[in-house]
């Protein structure tokens, strides 16, 4: 019986890789819930403005209320077993957050 030859499909592998990468959203956690996720390829780790996709959630609402009341909201995201904490200090326009004060915590 002849053995079936299989070929490596580079395009399919690349498509699968990018699908997995796009599903690995960088979720923004605040006050016990998820406020949204970052829409950037790289993980935020320096002060600056980053694009994000807000969720219509109580956490997102509370994050913006805290931002208005106190001038900042302390959030975090998880990466490789670490929690990375940061402060949201403003939202210059829809879908953008200005971040500062990054700190890492090892679990």
Would 7 be classed as within a structural domain?
Answer: no
User: Shortest CA distance to 84 belongs to which of 50, 107, 66?
Assistant: 107
CA 73 from centroid of its chain's CA atoms: 16
Give the range of the structural domain holding residue 102, as residue numbers without chain letter: 26-106
Overall domain count for the chain: 1
Torsion of CA 77, 82, 83, 84, to 10 degrees: -70
Say if 10 falls within a structural domain.
Answer: no
pLDDT of 79 > 90? The answer is no
The larger pLDDT score, comparing residue 63 to residue 22, is at: 63
Indicate whether 69 belongs to any domain. Answer: yes
* pLDDT value at residue 12: 72
- Reported as a single tens digit per residue, the pLDDT across 42-73 is 889 999 999 999 999 999 999 999 999 999 99
- The DSSP secondary-structure symbol of 43 reads P
pTM of the full structure: 0.75
Q: Is residue 49 part of a domain?
A: yes
Indicate the pLDDT class of residue 8, thresholds 50, 70 and 90.
low
CB 95 within 8 A of CB 53: yes
Q: pLDDT at position 1, please? A: 60
- 88 burial (CB, 10 Å; 0-12 / 13-18 / 19+) is buried
């Amino acid at each position: 019986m002849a053995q079936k030859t299989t070929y490596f499909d580079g395009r399919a592998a690349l498509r699968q890789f990018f699908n997995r990468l796009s599903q690995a959203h960088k979720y923004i956690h605040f006050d016990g819930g998820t406020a949204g996720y970052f829409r950037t390829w790289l993980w935020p780790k320096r002060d600056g403005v980053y694009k994000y996709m807000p969720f219509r959630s109580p956490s997102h609402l509370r994050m913006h209320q805290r931002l208005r009341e106190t001038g900042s909201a302390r959030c975090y995201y998880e990466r490789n077993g670490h929690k990375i904490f940061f402060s949201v200090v403003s939202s210059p326009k829809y879908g953008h957050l200005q971040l500062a004060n990054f700190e890492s915590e090892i679990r």
